[in-house]
Structure 1
């Protein structure tokens, strides 16, 4: 197969030497963090061979095409589904990638279908630190990295919303409504995954205490949970801000339409008596006054002008314009 199955592998036991992912072959029973790509064909079979301690339900969950953030406690095993920002170039902010994690306290199997930058960052940091970590510390660190990577894209999204509001207030030309709808869609999609993520992180905090994880790691996870809650609050505020901007745009469009209709009403009111007069004089019957008078046209034109002038004075005194 063309896709790389094992993306990264790190032994969690200091007695085992680190190996490159391509050197990890066959069944792996030692304490290890294994990160795999489950997007390719036959990924489930390869995962079953590499980790025989996984049952079919866990393999199916790790290879699922659609997931929502949650934590499942199976007693001695844990399944953790997270959603992180897609930091690939050109990716939309709401195009969130899924990270699936399974652990039994000894092994950690994490899986992706699209690149998850949080995994790469954690792997590089562990290589630099060059010290053993426990399975629970890997799980918590992955959750912390996923949340940490949200700050940049969400901050840019909020900046775009502020910029749109400034352009709307300044009357900058352009299709602001299409941009507003796009930003609203981004906010709703991101919030859709962050709310269950908050609950999942709270469950992870409880699991961390059960795992007897170091207090420092628990504090990092708690701090990450606070940041996640703040992101959700920012998105809630952004949603209200976008709703207010939408109402302002609708009101501005309504005001413009009303002004146009008002102008047309004045024009129609001015030409209504003129239309009646010219229609009356245009009937083809005998006895029409001035039919044989060469100056009659100018008298009619002058009378129409006088009518228009009187109407304008009346509208002006009435405060129509």
Structure 2
């Protein structure tokens, strides 16, 4: 049973009881009382087991639940409701923005969820079920799950916003080319989160407006609040993305200004030493008839003339306000 992560009975006389055996799980899923089964999405036995044992799950639904690549969406099937969601990845050693796909199938009598990696939001929901405080209906389960996912997303966005604020303050104070890598990393995280939270906002919006019979007024209200939070989260991500673009431009501008100053300094030095180099080269040729070749004071006279030329160049450059 490695493909089965856990299963619980959610209502009826056995509410909150964990289902340990495969036979008990299948019986509970086919009974009238609401049961919740969580499977490992990428386990090789999951798809064949669902096809063989869970005959009440239609092939299109099973294909949606076990697909290798998913994006958040809501789909109404003949046998129930399929909701694909994403949760932030808080597993040790992994990136937060590498969001974990959570596939959910539910109807009034059964709930089946699948994921490839652990999700703390599912752990929170399991604790509530085991404590006897879990959802009693499929609609309430979905609302609670979306709220838990949203809470973790809010925490991740808060941490990201704190880092972006600190980076913005540092760049404004002292732009440094070394900060460019950090700006790129933060921007990539924003883009990755935005890629999934945008469709997730739309998927939850469809749940709110779809008028599904299994969702009570209370469930819709909770989902609507979660949807509003996601709308604000997506707007905040868009704002952070724009701010990071401005920060990158600020760093690039500072680097360009520094390069221009260095090139300008080199140009000034070249303007000063090019005539001096020409004169010293001209006077250093080994040809007969060079003026002052027989005079002992010629070197000092020529050196003095070079100093006069250099001072004259400096004065001209100052008058032109080049230095």
The bucket for the TM-score relative to the shorter chain is over 0.9
More displaced, 29-38 or 126-135?
Answer: 126-135
Pair 1:165-2:163 in alignment: no
- Aligned position for 1:22: 20
Q: Deviations over 1:140-159 (max 9, x none)?
A: 22122112210111111111
**Count of residue pairs brought into register by the alignment:** 318
Q: Offset of 1:297 from its aligned partner?
A: 1.4
| RMSD value, Cα | 2.0
Pair 1:94-2:97 in alignment: yes
- Aligned position for 2:83: 80
Q: Deviations over 1:47-83 (max 9, x none)?
A: 3344221123322221222110001112442111001
- Aligned position for 2:10: 12
Pair 1:274-2:276 in alignment: yes
Pair 1:232-2:234 in alignment: yes
Over 3 Å counting, the alpha-carbon distance change for 1:153 and 1:211 in structure 2 is same
Distance in 2 between residues matched to 1:225 and 1:17, nearest whole Å: 29
Taking the TM superposition and a 5 Å limit, the aligned residue runs for 1:171-320 are 171=174, 175-207=178-210, 209-211=211-213, 213-320=215-322
Distance in 1 between residues matched to 2:133 and 2:234, nearest whole Å: 35
Q: Deviations over 1:165-184 (max 9, x none)?
A: 11112227572111111111
Q: Offset of 1:230 from its aligned partner?
A: 0.5
1:93·1:154 contact (CA, 8 Å) conserved in 2?
A: no
Q: Deviations over 1:81-132 (max 9, x none)?
A: 0011011123323110000001132211010001121111112122223466
Q: Offset of 1:187 from its aligned partner?
A: 0.7
- Aligned position for 1:58: 61
Over 3 Å counting, the alpha-carbon distance change for 1:23 and 1:174 in structure 2 is farther
Over 3 Å counting, the alpha-carbon distance change for 1:132 and 1:244 in structure 2 is closer
Q: Where does structure 2 lack aligned partners over 5 or more consecutive residues?
A: none
Q: Where does structure 1 lack aligned partners over 5 or more consecutive residues?
A: none
Is the partner of 1:255 in helix, strand or coil? helix
Q: Offset of 1:23 from its aligned partner?
A: 3.0
Give me the TM-score of the superposition, normalised by structure 1: 0.92
Is the partner of 1:149 in helix, strand or coil? helix
- Aligned position for 1:109: 112
Is the partner of 1:156 in helix, strand or coil? helix
Is the partner of 2:6 in helix, strand or coil? strand
2:175·2:254 contact (CA, 8 Å) conserved in 1?
A: no
Distance in 2 between residues matched to 1:217 and 1:103, nearest whole Å: 14
